[in-house]
Structure formats: structure tokens, C-alpha cells
Amino acid sequence: MTMGRVRSLAGVCCFAIGSALGAQEATVPPSIDTLLAQEGRAYEQARQAALERPDLVGDARAALAGWEYGPATWRRLVLTEALSMHLDHPEEADTLRNLSGLDRDHYRHRRKPGPSVDRELGGLRHVAPLMVELFLKGVETYEWSSPETADAEAAALRRGLLMAVGESGHAASVHFLIDVVEGGCLCCASCDAALRALGETGDLRALPVLLRALSGARAEAKTGEIALVVSALGGVRHDEVWPHIRVELSNPDRLVREAAIRSAADFANRWHWRADPVRGERVRATVGSALMDVLLETEEQGLVAALLESLGLVATPQLRDLLDQRLGDRPGRRPSGSSAAEAERVRRALERVDRALGRQQPRERER
């Protein structure tokens, strides 16, 4: 970081995050409870005092050893984990406080100048508790490049932290992100990231929260937010989610419909089902058939492009057969009763699916 970096109150967190520490009681050293109650500079000073007492950190870990992550316990657990990680992963803790993507002297030379830390934080998912701690306790004391860039850098930091935690697979992630989404979010860009990140957890407990957000967006006719939530649903890969995506494939709004198309592809993407390939194949067959139905009735070029890309992502031999049958086997390969435009869309989809299946075969042989 450069010598000219300054601290700014523009980093004060704009989320009203619930502070429930406790329905589950345990004997925790009083100084740990004091630490968890602090904010900003006071928190950092209390944390440093605690880190100078490794025995105290060990006592805190031992006291919470039998606890499980839940709505009432996640905050205490994750911040205690973070405290331990300051001892066990000091380099990562230092990196989080000196992200090059928030250094104007670094990011101004990028092809797209502007603060961004997504890639850096993606490599730190193994220390997700440290990222949660930074979001909850450290944004207001982060050192920004200048007062003029503080707002943009703070927004980039929050957005990156949310996405990285959502993709981390850590037990705290779903509880943390639910708290952010439902806690009263005022920063629009970071709220968008929180919804996306909640979907990325893949946790079924995210579904009711996303559906409440969807209902609220509909009540206020916020088309962009509706599309955002529909997109986030694709990350929650459970059978209960698919009907909520499928119904949006016929949404009359183009933005929402495209979000549903891409969400469906994300939901069924082969890579995400690699731990259960048999079930994944069934999911892709279901989603592929639904996307093909949309393709047959859609002429809007932007939606067609999204459909072609999505059909390639969910390609199966069964989908290829459906497309081939639709084209028919007569000269000219044009099914009776269809328009030339429809036949062209099906032909392009068949080519896309053929290419995708061709790429899959070498990978299958390698396994």
C-alpha cells in the first residue's frame, strides 16, 4: 500500500446487521465477550490485546468446541475462528489489509481502471472467517487511497468480501449472508452482491430468504431486483428451486426472462453436479427440454443468444435427439409447419449442443 493512503469514515458499514450473539450459552472468557462487543478501532485494539494472550484464544476455542453454526451462534463462532486465524494465518490476515485492488496506484493502470478485489479474495476463501470479520468489524478503519476514492474502494471491498464468502463453503457463510440480506441493506451495489452471494452458497436455507426478496421486489415492481433474485436462485441446486426458475421462463419482461434462462443453465451446469453425475444428467434433461420450448417460441435476438449459450451448457445426448427430431429428416431439414426463423434457431442450437458434447467426450475418456 502507498504511504498516501488515508482512513475514511466513508467505510462505515451501511448494513444494519443483527447482533444476536446468543441464545446458546457457554463459559467464554469475559475478555472475549468484550472483544466481540467492540467496533472499529476499539475492536482492533481489543483483538490485538487478545492475540498477545494465545492461552486466552485457546480457552475461547475450547469453550465453543461443542457449538454448531446457527442463526443465534454464527457471529460468536466465526469471530472466534477469525481470532484464531490471526495467529495461524498471519500472512492472509495482512493481505486482507493490503489488497492491491484497492490501491489507486495499482488499479489505475488496469485496462478497466477502478477498484476491484474479486480475484484477490477468491484466493483467500480458506480464511473466510477473516473476511467475515473484516466486513463486520474492519471496513470503517480500512486505509483507502484517498478521500476521493474511499467510497468506490469501500464498495468494491464489501462486494468482493460478500462474493468470496458466498463461494467459500464455510459453515458461517449462509448465516452471515442471510443476516446481511435481511438486516436492512442501504447500499444497492453491495445488496446486489449479497443476494448473488447467498445463491452461491448453494444452501437450501437460502431459498426462503431469496423468495422473500423476490416477493418484495415484485410488490415494488423493481424489475432489476426481480431479475437479480431469479439469477441468484440458479446457485441453490435443490429440486425445490427449479419450479421457481421455470415459471420465470415465461415472464413477459425481457430482462427477467433472460435472467431465468441463464439461471436455469447455472442450476443445471454439469460442473456443479460433478459429485452426483446421475442426478445431474436428469436435471440437465429437464432443464434442456424447458429451454428448448422457450427457444421454439422466442424470436427476440438477445434472448435467442442467451438460449443458445445456455443450451450448450446443459447439453445432453437426449437434448441433441430432441433438437434433431424437431428439424426432421427430410431434404432441407425444415420441419413442417415451422417458420424458417424457427428452423434456423433449432439448427444453431443443434450445432451448439454438438460442440458441447464433443468437448465433453475427451474429458469423459480422461476419467
pLDDT for res 185: 59
Q: By C-alpha distance, which of 250, 246, 217 is closest to 234?
A: 246
pLDDT for res 330: 44
* Separation of alpha carbons 133 and 195, rounded Å: 19
> Residue 366: is it exposed, middle or buried by C-beta count within 10 angstroms (0-12/13-18/19+)?
exposed
pLDDT for res 363: 53
pLDDT for res 6: 44
pLDDT for res 60: 80
CB within 8 Å of 91: residues ≥ 6 apart: none
Q: Contact, 214 vs 236, CB < 8 A?
A: no
Write out the chain in H/E/C secondary structure: CCCCCEECHHHCCCECCCCCCCCCCCCCCHHHHHHHHCCHHHHHHHHHHHHCCHHHHHHHHHHCCCCCCCCCCHHHHHHHHHHHHHHHCHHHHHHHCCCHHHCHHHHCCCCCCCCCCHHHHHCCHHHHHHHHHHHHHHHHHCEECCCCCHHHHHHHHHHHHHHHHHCCCCCCHHHHHHHHHHCCECCHHHHHHHHHHHHHCCCCCHHHHHHHHHHHHHHCCCHHHHHHHHHHHCCCCCCCCHHHHHHHHHCCCHHHHHHHHHHHHHHHCHHHHCCCHHHHHHHHHHHHHHHHHHHHHCCCHHHHHHHHHHHHHCCCHHHHHHHHHHHCCCCCCCCCCCCHHHHHHHHHHHHHHHHHHHHHHHHHHHC
User: pTM of the predicted model, to two decimals?
Assistant: 0.84
pLDDT for res 335: 52
pLDDT along the chain (367 residues), means of 10: 40 38 43 80 90 83 85 91 94 96 92 92 96 94 94 94 96 95 68 92 96 95 95 95 97 97 95 88 95 94 96 94 80 59 93 92 51
* Separation of alpha carbons 89 and 287, rounded Å: 43
pLDDT for res 82: 94
